[in-house]
């Protein structure tokens, strides 16, 4: 009996830990018309190299610099830090190849923008997901 | 190989040469596109505003000016500038960019001038194609498209031996880029067709009454250029090759001499006729010429955190007094935290025909016992000053310090040694630009916002 309780307790704590890990995961959400994409495609969208994916014009948005979610997104999907990402877009902007993704203040703003803008995609953490959101990529 | 490249470029030029009618059609199309932009509802346009600035101080150990402004008194004029940019995203395919810059004027040494440095409509029909029509900075060198934005590179000053030998400027025209993704590499072929007004600066060391007074002269030119640039980027490594074909038209009275005839007075005694007011058969000069520039560059990570950057340019100019030259530099950089120290070696040398012409004219002196020798000797030196000739090398050691992702401090010490001559030096009266040693200290603050 004692052993059974220990096993149940271990299983529950493992599941909770697992849920905690997933809750911190970065997910990329898109408007309903945005197709699923792999991390490499997400990278190309956020570096301005792709403006359309599978025939759908896409508009990425991000969070303000310095936020933990943004830093994790840059690390997980773009393999970059803030400095490298900013430097990349500074060059790209001034060689006339466009401006970086619009930066929004919070996850709520990202969700609202993505829901209401065809082609929009943004990133939030898993715990911020609300029902009906189109998750197009996760790591 | 160079002549083959020239043939390819010239054939391409013949096939797609713009006539005056074509230019009018291009401008009409651009105007129609810009009108369409203006007609868009403002709320449909996504505007982004940004800016950049450099406050740069440079001081040398010489009384004369080097690179227009740098001398013993120190100057902020060589490197300081301020610019703002607006990017308007109309939709996912079309955008408009306008940039203005405040910097020392290119057509005189006194004024600070506000200019429109970018004004173009971009069209991106697919992920792989980018078409831009309007005013841009031609992608001639590794950093030429963003050289005004000091935050984007670590050098306190990009080596004049490359970046000033074949100056690139903001030019009006059409720019097309096609990108391929090949395995881990991104391959981009850029082609452009553009023209720009670009002044040539000459500095005449002596008064030659009544021909000219000592000082800087700016000759107005219009350059029409076409070019192809292939860029391969793999991770952080970049490789570039480019070929450019340039038509230069000179306006005004200071034309470009093709040769100075030697006037024999007695056996072994004579002078070079450098102006038609002097006795002689007449100076041959041209008001237009066609040249080519070939370019290669690499920016590579080489292990242990080191980075090697090198650029080389060969400018093929058919006129001996023109900038027929080759230049290059090699730099080693080592990012250490916020610091990126570097060393670089640069070299710029005119081709032997140009240097020989300069040396002959500059070195010939008519003995003072001949009537008018003072005027003739001054005119010969002025004739030499009218030859765009270089022979110099520069060692530089410096560092950038990243304050944050949008601002950098930079410091550099550079030592330039000239061989026979350098047109970057404003030679004092009766002096020479040959065999000079110039130490330049530079400090700058660079920011984008």
Interchain pair A96, B120: CB under 8 A: yes
Closest by CA position to B179, among listed A77, A47, A30, A80: A47
> Which residue of chain A has the CA closest to B130?
A97
The verdict on A86 touching B (C-beta cutoff 8 Å) is: yes
CB pairs < 8 Å spanning A and B = 70
3-state DSSP assignment of residue A49: coil
User: Are B186 and A49 in contact (CB < 8 Å)?
Assistant: yes
Give the pLDDT score at A16.
44
Residue of A nearest to B408 (CA): A87
Q: pLDDT of B75-109, one tens digit each?
A: 999 999 999 999 999 988 999 999 999 999 999 99
Does pLDDT of B298 surpass 60? Answer: yes
The C-alpha atoms of residue B202 and residue B257 are separated, in whole angstroms, by 13
Question: Residue A96: closest CA among chain B residues belongs to which residue?
Answer: B97
B295 against A14, higher pLDDT: B295
Residues of A in contact with B126 (CB under 8 A): 52
For residue B407, list its beta bridge partners. B404, B447
Cβ of A24 under 8 Å from any chain B Cβ? no
- Helix B373-385 and helix B352-363, axial crossing angle in degrees, nearest 10: 160
Residue B312 phi/psi, 5-degree rounding, is: -140, 135
Select from A51, A95, A119 the Cβ nearest to the Cβ of B146: A95
Stated length of chain B: 449
Name the nearest CA neighbour of A98 among B312, B90, B253: B90
Q: Which residues contact B401 (CB under 8 A, 6 or more apart)?
A: B338, B339, B340, B408, B409, B410
B48·A96 Cβ contact <8 A: no
- Give pTM, 2 decimals: 0.85
| Three-class SS state of A48 | coil
For residue B447, the chain A residue with the least C-alpha distance is A90
- Give contacts of B186 with chain A, Cβ < 8 Å: 49
Q: What's the pLDDT tens digit per position in B207-258?
A: 988 888 999 999 999 999 999 999 999 988 999 999 999 999 999 878 899 9
Query: What is the ipTM, given to two decimal places?
Result: 0.80
Residue among B46, B118, B152 minimizing CB distance to A96: B118
Q: Are B161 and B347 in contact (CB under 8 A)?
A: yes
Position B261 scores a pLDDT of: 96
* B93: closest CA of chain A, how far (Å): 8
* Chain A residues near residue B120 by CB distance under 8 angstroms: 96
A98 → closest Cβ in B52, B87, B136:
B87
Q: Phi/psi at A59 (nearest 5 deg)?
A: -130, 100
Taking an 8 Å cut-off on Cβ atoms, the answer to whether B146 and A91 are in contact is yes
Question: Which of B442, B416, B394 shows the shortest CA–CA distance to B150?
Answer: B442
Distance in angstroms (rounded) separating the CA atoms of residues B89 and B69: 39
Q: CA B140 to CA B242: how far, in whole Å? A: 7
The 3-class secondary structure across chain B, one letter per residue, is: CHHHHHHHHHHHHHHHCCCHHHHHHHHHHHHHHHHHHHHCCHHHCEEEEEEEEEEEEEEECCCCCECCCECCCCECCCCCEEEEEEEEECCCCEEEEEEEEEEECCCCCCCEEEEEEEEEEEECCCCCEEEEEEEEECCCCCCHHHCCCHHHCCCCCCCHHHHCCCCCCEEEEEEEEEEEEECCEEEEEEEEEEEEECCEEEEECCCECCCECCEEEEECEEEEEEEEEEEEEECCEEEEEEEEEEEEEECCCCCEEEECCEEEEECCEEEECCCCCCCCCCCEEECEEEEEEEEEEEEEEEECCEEEEEEEEEEECCCCCCCCEEEEEEEEECCECCEEEEEEEEEEEECHHHHHHHHHHHHCCCCCCCCCHHHHHHHHHHHHHCCCCEEEEEEEEEEEEEEECCEEEEEEEEEEEEEEEECCECCCCCCCCCCCEEEEEEEEEEEEC
Q: Show the tokens assigned to B128.
A: 């792989």
From the list B50, B99, B127, which residue is nearest A51 (CB)? B127
Residue the block writes with tokens 């080596």: B159
Q: What is the mean pLDDT of chain A?
A: 87
C-beta atoms surrounding B192 within 10 Å: 21
Q: For position B14, what pLDDT does the model report?
A: 40
Residues B130-185: tens digit of each pLDDT = 999 999 988 899 999 999 999 999 999 999 999 987 666 789 999 999 999 888 89
Mean pLDDT, rounded, for B361-383: 93
Answer yes or no: do A94 and B97 touch at CB < 8 A: no
Residue with tokens 């031996």: B161
Q: How far apart are CA B89 and CA B45, in angstroms?
A: 6
Cα B217 from Cα A81, distance rounded (Å): 49
Q: Determine whether the interchain pair A86/B406 forms a contact, defined as Cβ–Cβ distance below 8 Å.
A: yes
* CA distances (Å), origin B98, targets A60, B25, B65, B115, B167: 23, 22, 33, 11, 22
Write down the pLDDT at residue B13: 35
Question: Is residue B260 a contact partner of residue B252, using CB atoms and an 8 Å limit?
Answer: no
Cα separation, B328 vs A122, in Å, equals 44
Could you tell me if A88 lies within 8 Å of chain B, comparing CB atoms?
no
The whole-number pLDDT of residue B39 equals 59
B132 contacts A90? CB cut-off 8 A: no
| B179 contacts A49? CB cut-off 8 A | yes
Q: For A97, which DSSP code?
A: S
Mutate to test the interface with A, among B146, B181, B400 (most CBs of A within 10 A): B146
CA nearest neighbour of B285 among B244, B252, B263: B252
Tokens of A1: 């009996």
**How does the average pLDDT of chain B come out, rounded?**
90
DSSP classification of residue A77:
I
| Cross-sheet strand order for the sheet of A134-138 | A102-104, A59-63, A120-125, A26-30, A134-138
Task: Kindly state the tokens that stand for A122.
Answer: 């943004």
| Cβ-defined contact of B127 to A49 (cutoff 8 Å) | yes
B186 touches chain A (CB under 8 A): yes
Q: How wide is the angle at C-alpha B373 spanned by C-alphas B368 and B378, nearest 5°?
A: 120
- Minimum-distance CB partner of B124 among A51, A82, A87: A51
* pLDDT tens digits in sequence order for chain A, 139 residues long: 455 556 555 554 544 444 444 568 999 999 999 999 999 999 999 999 999 999 999 999 999 999 999 999 999 999 999 999 999 999 999 998 989 999 999 999 999 999 999 999 999 999 999 999 999 998 8
B187 interfaces chain A, CB cutoff of 8 Å:
no
User: In the structure encoding, which two tokens stand for residue B160, read together?
Assistant: 């004049």
Instruction: Provide the percentage of residues in chain B whose pLDDT is more than 90.
Output: 79
Residues 35-74 of B with CB under 8 A from A: 46, 48, 50, 52
Distance from CA of A93 to the nearest CA of B (A): 8
Q: Which helix (H) or strand (E) holds A61?
A: strand A59-63
Name the residue among A58, A90, A97 with its Cβ closest to that of B149.
Answer: A90
Tens of pLDDT, residues B10-58: 343 343 334 455 445 445 545 555 565 555 555 578 899 999 999 999 9
| Cα gap A70→A67, rounded to integer Å | 5
Tokens at residue B11, please?
Answer: 């054939």
Q: Test A99 with B48 for CB contact under 8 angstroms.
A: yes
In contact, B83 and B51? CB cutoff 8 Å: yes
pLDDT tens for A45-68 read 999 999 999 999 999 999 999 999
Residue B97 touches partner A, C-beta closer than 8 Å: yes
pLDDT of residue B26: 47
**CA gap B238, B249 in Å, rounded:** 34
**What is the C-alpha separation between B360 and B420, in angstroms, rounded?**
11
């Amino acid at each position: 009996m004692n052993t059974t309780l220990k096993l149940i307790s271990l299983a529950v704590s493992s599941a909770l830990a697992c849920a905690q890990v997933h809750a911190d995961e970065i997910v990329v959400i898109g408007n309903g018309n945005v197709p699923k994409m792999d991390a490499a495609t997400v990278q190309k969208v956020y570096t301005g190299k792709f403006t359309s994916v599978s025939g759908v014009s896409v508009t990425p948005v991000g969070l303000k610099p310095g936020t933990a979610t943004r830093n994790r997104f840059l690390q997980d999907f773009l393999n970059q830090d803030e400095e490298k990402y900013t430097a990349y877009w500074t060059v790209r902007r001034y060689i006339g190849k466009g401006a970086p993704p619009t930066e929004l203040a919070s996850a709520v703003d990202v969700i609202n923008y993505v829901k209401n803008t065809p082609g929009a995609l943004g990133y939030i953490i898993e715990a911020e997901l609300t029902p009906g959101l189109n998750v197009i990529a996760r790591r | 190989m160079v002549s083959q490249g020239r043939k390819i470029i010239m054939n391409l030029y013949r096939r797609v040469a713009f006539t005056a009618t074509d230019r009018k059609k291009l401008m009409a199309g651009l105007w129609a596109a810009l009108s369409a932009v203006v007609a868009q509802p403002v709320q449909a346009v996504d505007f982004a505003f940004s800016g950049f600035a450099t406050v740069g101080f440079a001081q040398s150990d010489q009384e004369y000016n080097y690179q227009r402004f740098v001398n013993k008194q120190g100057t902020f004029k060589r490197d300081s500038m301020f610019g703002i940019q607006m990017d308007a995203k109309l939709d996912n395919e079309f955008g408009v960019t306008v940039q203005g810059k405040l910097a020392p004027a290119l057509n005189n040494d006194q004024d600070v001038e506000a200019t429109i440095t970018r004004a173009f409509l971009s069209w991106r029909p697919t992920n792989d194609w980018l078409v831009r029509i309007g005013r841009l900075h031609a992608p001639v060198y590794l950093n030429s498209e963003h050289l005004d934005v000091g935050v984007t590179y670590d050098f306190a000053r990009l080596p004049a031996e490359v970046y000033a030998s074949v100056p690139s400027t903001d030019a009006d025209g059409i720019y097309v880029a096609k990108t391929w993704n090949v395995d881990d590499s991104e391959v981009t072929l850029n082609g452009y067709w553009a023209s720009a007004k670009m002044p040539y600066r000459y500095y005449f060391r002596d008064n030659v009454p009544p021909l000219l007074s000592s000082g800087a002269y700016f000759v107005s030119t219009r350059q029409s250029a076409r070019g192809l640039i292939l860029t391969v980027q793999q991770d952080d490594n970049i490789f570039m090759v480019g070929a450019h074909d340039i038509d230069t038209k000179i306006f005004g009275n200071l034309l470009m001499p093709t040769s100075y005839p030697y006037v024999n007075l007695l056996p072994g005694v004579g002078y070079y006729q450098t102006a038609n007011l002097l006795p002689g058969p007449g100076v041959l000069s041209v008001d237009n010429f066609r040249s080519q520039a070939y370019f290669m560059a690499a920016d590579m990570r080489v292990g242990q955190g080191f980075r090697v950057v090198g650029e080389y340019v060969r400018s093929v100019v058919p006129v001996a007094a023109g900038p027929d030259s080759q230049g290059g530099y090699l730099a080693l950089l080592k990012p250490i935290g916020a610091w990126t120290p570097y060393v670089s070696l640069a070299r710029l040398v005119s081709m032997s025909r140009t240097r020989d012409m300069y040396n002959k004219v500059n070195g010939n002196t008519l003995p003072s016992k001949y009537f008018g020798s003072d005027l003739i000797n001054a005119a010969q030196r002025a004739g030499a000053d009218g030859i765009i000739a270089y022979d110099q090398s520069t060692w530089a050691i410096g560092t950038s310090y990243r304050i944050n992702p949008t601002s950098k401090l930079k410091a550099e010490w550079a030592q330039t040694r000239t061989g026979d001559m350098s047109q970057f030096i404003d030679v004092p009266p009766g002096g020479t630009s040959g065999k000079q040693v110039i130490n330049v200290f530079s400090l700058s603050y660079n920011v984008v916002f």
